Amino acid sequence: MQFLFNIGNSIGQFIGYILWLFFDLFDNYALAVVCFTIFVKACMFPFDIKGRKAMVKSMRLNKKRLELEKRYKSDRQKLNEEITKLYQKEGINPAGGCLPQFIPMFAFMGVLFSIAQPLTNMFHISANKIAEAVSILKPLVGEKVNFNSYYSQLNVIKYFPAYQDSLLMFNDTEKNAIADFNKGFHLFGLDLSLTPNGSSFLDFIWILPVLCIVTNFIAVFINQKLNTMPGSEGPGCMKFLPYFMSVPYILFVFNVPAGVGFYYIVFNILNIVQTFIVWKFFNVHILAAKEEAARVALLEVQESKVGRM
């Protein structure tokens, strides 16, 4: 567990630099998250298109693969060798699209750790200063606030305006950054530092997890509706797999600061936008037609070479 924490914290420090860059431009964390999410999706877009092209090629080779499975059904090793040769001949790397799929997960972890510990991961303030600030705020604020939790840095930011004269360990640059973050961490009156689980109903922060569910299901539904080729649907239960895979994320946002849920909402909305863009210009039908045209053209070239010989 500590190993995963260290990895997440390292990613959070890296993501924190990017988030702080956008926050410094707008003085608003919600806008910073929107810009960061657009940045992530833009980085992923070429990989998405490449993966989609590889998927079309793989679907085209399904018939040949089935023939190989019938021919070598009693020799598993030979079957694997022939399938590997087939993929190499067609220029397909079955594992080529796996690594980019981890980018959203890394970004999600980075946003979580940068929000949970912003003094460390966004402002890069030393741990000694943070510990000193916590020790001063504890008796001033009282026992009603838990400064021993993982989100204690958010409490430092929350109570900073009222007690900043006592927090002399921060320099002027750090004080200005914390004050700006305190003011810019709200969205339409919602405090993005609050955790939905445990917050008052009247805080209305529960709206964000609900929107996470709604936007995610819409994104999955539209993607399946527009980007599934006839004959490639798979068993009926497979249609629901993307919904089930999103459940851990959705449950997670109930128990972390609402800023993480806001990021997930923006990510889902951009997924919907990207799905329509891909459907318009790069949908599987268009790619399949281009792939078939390229294959026919290659066969014609090969046949013309044989004819000249």
pLDDT in tens, 241-291: 666 767 777 778 888 888 888 998 999 999 899 888 877 776 666 666 666
In the predicted structure, residue 233 carries a pLDDT above the cut 60: no
- Helix, strand or coil, per DSSP, at residue 282: coil
Alpha carbons 181 and 304: distance in angstroms, whole number? 68
Q: 62-71 and 29-60 helices cross at what angle (nearest 10)?
A: 50
Q: What is the pLDDT of residue 9?
A: 76
> Percentage of the chain with pLDDT > 70?
75
- pLDDT at residue 112 in the model: 86
pLDDT score of 240: 64
Given this model, what pLDDT does residue 292 score? 62
Mean pLDDT of 88-113: 72
Count other C-beta atoms under 10 Å from residue 131's C-beta.
Answer: 12
Among 203, 122, 118, 208, which Cα is nearest to 154's? 118
Write down the pLDDT at residue 132. Answer: 92
Calculate the average pLDDT of the chain.
79
Strand partners, 187: 190
Instruction: Please name the residue ranges forming H helices in the chain.
Output: 2-26, 29-60, 62-71, 76-90, 103-116, 118-121, 127-141, 152-158, 160-163, 172-184, 207-226, 241-252, 258-281, 284-308
223/276 Cα distance (integer angstroms): 8
pLDDT value of residue 47? 79
At residue 96, does pLDDT exceed 70? no
| CA 173 to each of CA 27, 141, 177: distance values in angstroms, whole numbers, following the listed order | 15, 24, 6
Mean of pLDDT values over 188-204: 82
CA distance 224 to 216: 12
Lowest mean pLDDT segment, chosen from 12-26, 130-144, 179-193, 221-235 = 221-235
Mean pLDDT (whole number) for 206-227 = 85
Q: Are 156 and 140 in contact (CB under 8 A)?
A: no
Please compute the mean of the pLDDT values over residues 135-161 and round it to a whole number: 83
Cα(215)–Cα(200) distance, integer angstroms: 23
The two structure tokens encoding residue 219: 């994104």
pLDDT band at residue 225 using 50, 70 and 90 as cut-offs: confident
Which residue from 210, 203, 196 is spatially nearest to 268, judged by alpha carbons?
210
Task: Quote the Cα angle for 33-212-121, to 5°.
Answer: 35
Query: Among the listed ranges 76-90, 169-183, 187-201, which one has the minimum average pLDDT value?
Result: 76-90
CA–CA dist 133, 152 (Å, integer): 10
pLDDT average, residue stretch 96-124 = 80
Q: Look at residue 48 in the predicted model and tell me its pLDDT.
A: 78
pLDDT of residue 270: 92
